[in-house]
Amino acid sequence: MSALVATGEPAYDEASLSNNGNVETPLASNRQANDEESVGAKKLKTGFNSSDVLNNGAPNNAGDMDDDGGEFEVPKSEIRKRKRKEKRKSRLFPSFDVEPSAIKDKINVADLRDLVLWILADGVAPKWLSIYNKLGITRIATILVPGLTPDLFGVALDAVQPVPMSAIASKMPQELTFFRDHFGHLWPTRAPGDRTKLFSPMTAFMNSPLPKADKNALQKNGAAKLKAVDSSVNVPLKNLLMSAEEFVDGDYPIHSATIVADDGDRQELEEGWVETVSGHADIAHEKKGTILVQNKYRVYGLDCEMCLTTHGSALARVTVVNWNREVVMDELVLPDNTITDYLTQYSGITAKMLENVSTTLSDVQKQLTSLICSDDILIGHSLENDFKALKLRHPAVIDTSVIYHHSRGLPSKPSLKWLAQKFLKKEIQQFKNGHDSAEDARTCIDLVKLKIEKGMEFGTCVSSTEPLLRRLTRAAVNTSGGAETSGLHGRGVVVDYGNPAQWHGTDARTIVGCKNDEEVVRGVVDSIGQHEFVWARMREVEFDRGWVAYHGLKKREINIAENRGDKVLDTNCTGEDTNVVADEKTNQRDGELQTSLINLNERLEKIWDSMPPATAVIIMSGSGDPREMSRLNAMRVQFTEEFKSKKWDEVSVKWTDTENQQLLEAAKVARAGVSFIAIKGPSDHDS
């Protein structure tokens, strides 16, 4: 076992550099033993200069000066001996090496995740990177910095192989010296997605595929659980509530209850928006007859119908039913803007139905917020669209499209009609004149009741993934012979905006919620010495580049934020000329970006300085710029909706092959990210 210096860092002295070159450390000793990996003859070095190992950065000259300042000649045999010794020692400290001929395509976010699994767990060795002395790596720090793009560093969008930092040093922003000083290469990195969409980089990185044996075991276990369901033990409703991550992935408006901020710092709602509050302002519940489910929860089913107006989709009807399937609210709504299409075949709304209606969206919002408080549970099918039509934010939701799975598995979502056929054995939405919102709301209530009775596994597919942090913990327990060792209740720390415990930080040993990048830095600096794996996210750059919009919430106080870039600014779908406004925003953001890059550089330097030697560092953007892709996808959706009931010359937006090709190119831009990989060397510790 190597000696430890006062800071808890491994001391790479003569005694510790043994055992075939493997450095045994307190953290690394729980991993499977592997000798240094073989590598090809021709490689590009990344990270620190291994010749610094002997001298801690001092010049390594063959000739030294004597005490009198005179030079003396060192025998050639001694020089050769010293060089051989230096070479052996340099190989003992861990390092990353690149085999250029092995890089045939861009690496992707999953490749970076698998690199973590290879170093810290039971993963497979990557083909795109070789590692000398893997066990010498004491920990991994991964920092997600959305907003960094290839063009920012002067790298072509279609670049595949790692680009030497020396080749782009003159093209990089002067503010980003950190990357030039500490990394050998920029790695073009592909974000998850398909030809027209961007998927969540965080989900791709923070979830790992289950090994086949584990997946088979889960399938058998799930089947056994379904057979052994005890009908007397019901699933608690709280177990069916949407998680914070599901709110984000489902594109739901985010309630302010999820914001980490003092009450005095809370942001006012966007104009026209409302959100439910704790408690009730009147006696609406007594009037409607309160029903407590499981002696605790007030539960309602909700469904809305929409029509098209000159300003897009708008609310036309809202229906609320209670747990007993009784209608407690059913209102037709007159949109503020001129109706262009009633969408009768889907909504059931006709011109005659709205003839004498004077109820406005504002009226409906008042009724809802007097009936429902933030502690009540709303049940519905893909309620994100209903909430947007209502301009409503609510924190407690059970979404039947989430608690039940499509037969094809995730990420496909089942329709309500299919769920009713499959599990309730009944037909719904059979009316030729459109849906019945009361019927849909009741169906959702029935599906939840069935789920409570049958169990959590009922109506679901076995997941093929597990959280990365859980995989790391499981691997540590396995390699320690099943014994519980220090720190194995989660081997990592998650430092992120809001409350990471609600989603990707669930299996972490330590969780640090933050409001801004400065707090992220403090969280990493304070935690990195006690954990094998660090995950952090810094968001100021993406905020100042205008990638994210927050339904009126302060960008640095949001608990959960869009990690795919779905909710973005400037998503004008009409094709109107917005160049003047765009130019003003661009000028403003250019100034903000320069400031945010300076701040980013300083903060990353602080984190680097706090890292112990032999820390592997991964910094990635996760994705490229998603804004144009989002705008075009919104435009395509609007065209598709309108074209169902209108002729070609009547639709407000056009979708031709030209727009489709633009979308394909925009998706390439959105999926083009960058990454940086290095191992901190001994001489960097106090730099």
Q: What is the mean pLDDT of residues 541-557?
A: 60
Q: Is the pLDDT confidence value at 318 over 90?
A: yes
| pLDDT number for residue 248 | 76
| pLDDT number for residue 685 | 38
Task: In whole angstroms, give the CA distance from residue 506 to residue 146.
Answer: 22
| Model confidence pLDDT, tens digit, residues 156-166 | 999 999 999 99
- How crowded is residue 598: how many other Cβ atoms within 10 Å of its Cβ? 14
CB 252 within 8 Å of CB 390: no
SS3 assignment, position 363: helix
Q: What are phi and psi of 511, to 5 degrees?
A: -125, 130
Q: What is the mean pLDDT of residues 314-329?
A: 94
Instruction: Tell me the pLDDT of the chain averaged across its residues.
Output: 77
Tell me the whole-structure pTM to 2 decimals.
0.63
| pLDDT number for residue 461 | 76
The domain limits of the chain are 150-209+468-627+671-684, 235-240+272-454, 628-670
SS3 assignment, position 10: strand
| pLDDT number for residue 490 | 56
Question: Hey, which CATH number is domain 150-209+468-627+671-684, 3.40.720, 2.40.50, 2.60.40, 3.30.420?
Answer: 3.40.720
| pLDDT number for residue 154 | 95
pLDDT category, 559, cuts 50, 70, 90? very low
Which two tokens mark 367?
């009724």
Task: In whole angstroms, give the CA distance from residue 295 to residue 185.
Answer: 60
Q: Is the pLDDT confidence value at 672 over 60?
A: yes
Task: In whole angstroms, give the CA distance from residue 563 to residue 249.
Answer: 8
CA 5 vs CA 9, 414, 608, 613, 684: distances in Å:
6, 57, 19, 11, 16
SS3 assignment, position 383: helix
Task: In whole angstroms, give the CA distance from residue 301 to residue 440.
Answer: 9
> What residue spans of 254-307 are helical by DSSP H?
284-288
Q: Is the pLDDT confidence value at 24 over 60?
A: no
| Model confidence pLDDT, tens digit, residues 587-631 | 555 667 899 999 999 999 999 999 999 999 999 999 999 999 999
Which two tokens mark 265?
């710092």
Q: What is the mean pLDDT of residues 162-172?
A: 92
Least confidently predicted of 98-112, 220-234, 655-669? 220-234
| pLDDT number for residue 84 | 74
Beta-ladder partners of 143 = 536, 619
Provide CB contacts within 8 A for 606, sequence distance 6+.
521, 525
Q: What is the mean pLDDT of residues 548-552?
A: 45
| Rounded to 5°, angle at Cα 70 from 67 and 74 | 95
pLDDT category, 280, cuts 50, 70, 90? low
Q: What is the fold of 235-240+272-454?
A: Nucleotidyltransferase; domain 5 (3.30.420)
